[in-house]
Amino acid sequence: MLTFIQYIYAIIIGIVSGTVGGSIGTSGSNIIIPGLLMSGIATTYKMAAGTTLLTILAPLSIGAVYTYYKAGDIQFDSAIVIMITYTIAATLSAMYVVKYVSDKTLILAYAIYVLLLSVYFFYKYFNYKKEAFR
């Protein structure tokens, strides 16, 4: 059971991750996972990952998706293909990770993932060409 302050942290995590997710098109997991761990709501990386997956399962930006849909900024064919393959891959990888991968290894993998993602976006920023994003 969460303490009162952990409920406050959960509300803050929800607001920040929802704002970032709706603004830049992410699930918010890059905010939710560290937020859960830093606040003490999740005591292990696996608990943070599982909690995050449940968090984003249903409401994964339904309102934001509708807003992008109204603006004509959704490519449905690729979204459906990615949704199906994501579901299969996420299920299989979760089954493997829960049984065989340590929290320590997952923390390292997450750190490498976020680092590589950051490097890519810094590269895109410093080599930005407006016509490339029409």
Q: What is the pLDDT of residue 59?
A: 65
Confidence tier at 7 by pLDDT (50, 70, 90): very high
Encoded amino acid at 39, one letter: S
| DSSP assignment string, 63-126 | HHHHHHHHTT---HHHHHHHHHHHHHHHHHHHHHHHHH--HHHHHHHHHHHHHHHHHHHHHHHH
**In this structure, what are the phi and psi dihedrals at residue 61, rounded to the nearest 5 degrees?**
70, 40
Q: Amino acid letter at 57? A: L
**Residue 55's pLDDT is what?**
86
Over residues 32-83, the pLDDT tens digits come to 999 999 999 999 999 999 998 888 876 666 878 888 899 999 888 988 888 8
Asked if pLDDT for residue 12 goes beyond 60, the answer is yes
Quick one: average pLDDT of 84-97? 88
